[in-house]
DNA sequence: TGTCCGATTGGT
DNA sequence: CCAATCGGACAG
C-alpha cells in the first residue's frame, strides 16, 4: 500500500462552505486501541462564523466549548449534545475566524465490525446505517469529548484524501435541526452525495429518493 | 446556583 | 409526533 494522501493546512483555511464541498469524498480515519475505523465523508454542513445564526460562534460568542473554532484550521471541534451524542466538526478559515464544517454522515470503508460493536448492532446491520447522522458518526468511530482539538492533518484521528465527487452528484439543502436560526435555517449549506445510501435520514435516506435524478 | 435548551436519535 | 438525558450558556 502507498501512503494515503492528506490535506494541507491551507486546504482547511478557506471559508467553511468551500471546505465543506471539498470534503465530500474525503476519508475520516480513527485509529484506537480497539482498531482502525474509517469512512468516506458523504454529508456535511457548513457553519459560517459570527454572522451565521445557526453557528455556535454566532455574534462572536467564544466560550470554553467552542474555543477551538477560533484556532487554526484543520483541527476537530467535538461537542456533546442532547445529553447523549457527540458531533465532530472540522475547523476552517483563518485563525480568529470561527467557522467549521459538521460531518453528518460517512460511508464505512474500514473497521465495519468495530463500528457495529460500538453502535451495539448485530453483524447483520447494514453498512449504510452505521454512520448515518452526526451522532452515529461519532458513536461508530469512537469519537468523544477527549478528541476535541485534535489535529486532523495527522495523528490517530485524521482526514485523508479520498475520491473526487462530481459536482452533479452534490445536493445542497437546508441544514438540519437549526430552526432557531430564523432565516438562516433555510440557507442551502448542507451538502451531500446524492448517490450515496449512507446519508442521514434527514438528508433523504431511509425512504424515497434523495432528490438526485 | 437555577433554569432553559440543544448542529440528535430511535421508536410511536 | 415525542421522550431521553445532561452539559453548556446565561441570568441573577
C1' of nucleotide B5: residue with nearest CA:
A82
> Are the C-beta atoms of A30 and A157 separated by less than 8 Å?
yes
Higher pLDDT, A72 or A2: A72
A82 touches strand B (CB under 7 A): yes
Residue A46: pLDDT above 90?
Answer: yes
Tell me what pLDDT residue A63 has: 97
DSSP letters, A163-197, are PPPPGGGEEEEPPSS-GGGGGGGGS--EEEETT-S
Residue A127: pLDDT above 80?
Answer: yes
Tell me what pLDDT residue A200 has: 86
Domain borders along chain A are 9-193
Which 3 state secondary structure label does DSSP give A90? strand
- Nearest nucleotide over every DNA/RNA strand to the A61 CA, judged by C1': C9
- Nearest nucleotide over every DNA/RNA strand to the A66 CA, judged by C1': C8
Which has the minimum average pLDDT: A3-7, A57-61, A141-145? A3-7
Nearest CA-CA partner of A199 in A211, A185, A184, A186:
A211
% of chain A exceeding 90 in pLDDT = 92
Tell me what pLDDT residue A140 has: 98
Tell me what pLDDT residue A108 has: 98
Residue A36: pLDDT above 50?
Answer: yes
**Topology annotation, domain A9-193:** 3-methyladenine DNA Glycosylase; Chain A (3.10.300)
Average pLDDT over chain A reads: 94
In whole angstroms, what is the distance from residue A132 CA to residue A169 CA?
Answer: 18
Within 8 A by CB and 6+ apart from A81, the residues are A87, A135
**Region of A78 on the Ramachandran plot (φ > 0 left; ψ -120 to 50 alpha; else beta):** beta
Tell me what pLDDT residue A203 has: 72
Nearest CA-CA partner of A28 in A41, A17, A16, A12:
A41
Stretch A175-182: mean pLDDT, rounded?
94
- The model's pTM is 0.95
> CA(A7)–C1'(B6) in Å?
32
> CA(A193)–C1'(B10) in Å?
24
Q: Which residues in chain A, range 27-46, keep a C-beta under 7 Å from any nucleic strand B atom?
A: 45
In whole angstroms, what is the distance from residue A86 CA to residue A84 CA?
Answer: 7
Per-residue model confidence as pLDDT tens digits over A193-213: 999 999 987 776 654 333 333
> CA(A147)–C1'(C10) in Å?
26
Tell me what pLDDT residue A210 has: 38
Per-residue model confidence as pLDDT tens digits over A101-117: 999 999 999 999 999 99
Residue A55's Cβ-side half-sphere holds a number of Cα atoms within 13 Å equal to 31
Residue A171 main-chain phi, psi, to 5 deg: -105, 135
**Region of A109 on the Ramachandran plot (φ > 0 left; ψ -120 to 50 alpha; else beta):** alpha
C1' of nucleotide C7: residue with nearest CA:
A83
Tell me what pLDDT residue A208 has: 39
Per-residue model confidence as pLDDT tens digits over A64-92: 999 999 999 999 999 999 999 999 999 99
C1' of nucleotide C6: residue with nearest CA:
A83
Within 8 A by CB and 6+ apart from A170, the residues are A21, A24, A191, A192, A193, A194
> CA(A62)–C1'(C10) in Å?
13
Amino acid at each position: 500500500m502507498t501512503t494515503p494522501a492528506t490535506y494541507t493546512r491551507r486546504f482547511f483555511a478557506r471559508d467553511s462552505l468551500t471546505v465543506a464541498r471539498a470534503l465530500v469524498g474525503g476519508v475520516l480515519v480513527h485509529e484506537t486501541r480497539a482498531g482502525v475505523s474509517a469512512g468516506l465523508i458523504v454529508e456535511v454542513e457548513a457553519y459560517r462564523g459570527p454572522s451565521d445564526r445557526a453557528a455556535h460562534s454566532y455574534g462572536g460568542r467564544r466560550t470554553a466549548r467552542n474555543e477551538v473554532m477560533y484556532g487554526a484550521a484543520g483541527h476537530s471541534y467535538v461537542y456533546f449534545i442532547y445529553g447523549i451524542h457527540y458531533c465532530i466538526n472540522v475547523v476552517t478559515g483563518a485563525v480568529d475566524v470561527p467557522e467549521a464544517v459538521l460531518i453528518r454522515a460517512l460511508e464505512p470503508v474500514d473497521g465495519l465490525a468495530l463500528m457495529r460493536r460500538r453502535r451495539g448492532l448485530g453483524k447483520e446491520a447494514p453498512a449504510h446505517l452505521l454512520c448515518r447522522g452526526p451522532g452515529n458518526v461519532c458513536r461508530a468511530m469512537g469519537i468523544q469529548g477527549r478528541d476535541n482539538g485534535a489535529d486532523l492533518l495527522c495523528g490517530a484521528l485524521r482526514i485523508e484524501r479520498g475520491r473526487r465527487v462530481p459536482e452533479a452528484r452534490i445536493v445542497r439543502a437546508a441544514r438540519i435541526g437549526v430552526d432557531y436560526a430564523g432565516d438562516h435555517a433555510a440557507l442551502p449549506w448542507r451538502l451531500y452525495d446524492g448517490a450515496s445510501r449512507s446519508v442521514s435520514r434527514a438528508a433523504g435516506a431511509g425512504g424515497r429518493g434523495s432528490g438526485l435524478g
